[in-house]
Structure 1
Amino acid sequence: VVPRNVTPKYEGTLSASTYPQYDLTSPNTRCGRGAMSTGNSSEIATVIAGSKVGFRIDFWYAGSLGGVMLHDGPLLAYLSRSPDQTPQGLMDYQAGGDWLKIHERGPDNHTRWFMPENWTQYNFTLPVTTPSGYYLLRPESIYPHSQFTTTQFYMNCAQI
């Protein structure tokens, strides 16, 4: 989702498996499982600092409930600036650089996480102070469990 319109599926996003990540040391936690191999097949979205942006939940598997977030927990958004500030440099970027958290949605109160019914999109504002350039924009959803090794991490990236 970019300013004022919903883009077609995968436009500007790196195609990744929707299965959760558990290993925070894996490169797959950068943009999702297998996403870094799809950079050249994804478009680069033009986004202006200060704009409202977001990510739409897509189908998980055949026969599932479809594009509805099924887990509660924190929602976060990060930016990582491509070291090579060219379109091809962004498409080749493996997301191994620094990440800056630009948005966070925590619990609604002391007893429950934010989780509206039939939630389908995660929207937020790109900071107005963001310098122009080529970035990966990553949304992240964390489904917490009492045992850390079973906490689920969901993420993807868009090239902007």
Structure 2
Amino acid sequence: MSKANSTLTIWRNLASKPGGKWTFSRLLCLKAPYFGSISPQFEELRPEYCRISMPKRRAVLNHLGTVHAIAMCNMAELAGGTMTEVTVPATHRWIPNGMTVEYLKKAKTDLIAIATPASAIDWSTAGEYKVNVVVQDTQGEVVFRALITMWVSPKKS
């Protein structure tokens, strides 16, 4: 089974069970510990779509009492990377190689990040795969946007 398929299979097996989304979120943070710093909660995951939430709490605040810009970058990379993980074919691998961000307004509440593809990719060759991530506050206002460039290439045999 491919890594992408195993991630999606784990999600599908856990998401509908009591505490399953929380368990999946913790498992992913065990695999990539830095993401644990934002206490993410996966809400929805499928090929070409990922939605995660992040609580506003002291550990992610800046000196103004709003969510720190880098915490939102971390959230964007997690959503974009996980969406890419469950989207690329089993024959391919990926790695982020760039991210452009826009801080649009102060993030004063819990946040939701939604990652979707920004571009199509020809899976027959190595290339860039662009991912849009929008971060919204609890009122649905967009507070942050990111465009992440993923390098996707066939796995070496």
TM-score computed with the length of structure 2 as normaliser: 0.32
Greater share of strand residues, 1 or 2? 2
Relative contact order, CA 8 A, sep 6+: which one is greater? 1
Greater share of helix residues, 1 or 2? 2
TM-score computed with the length of structure 1 as normaliser: 0.31
